Amino acid sequence: MTSVERVKSYSQLEPEGEWYGDMSDVPPSWPAYGLLSAEAMSFQYHLSLPRVLRNVYFCIRPKEKVK
């Protein structure tokens, strides 16, 4: 029933506003490579909590699947 309750609550949310950003400065070829990399990335859910990821390094190359 949790999923039904969640769908019901999402259906009652106020809609987001209209997009007012300027996309003209983004080149048409972007993203050109699709490469995603992180170096020494750390993550914590809140400043008062300990880090759940510490100094993570990864590289996801174009057309590479991540499971």
Whole-number pLDDT of residue 33: 78
**Domain boundaries defined on the chain:** 32-67
Whole-number pLDDT of residue 38: 94
Whole-number pLDDT of residue 1: 67
C-alpha closest to that of 58 among 40, 45, 43, 44 = 40
Per-residue pLDDT of the chain (67 residues; tens, 9 = 90+): 688 999 999 999 988 888 777 767 777 777 777 889 999 999 999 999 999 999 999 999 988 888 8
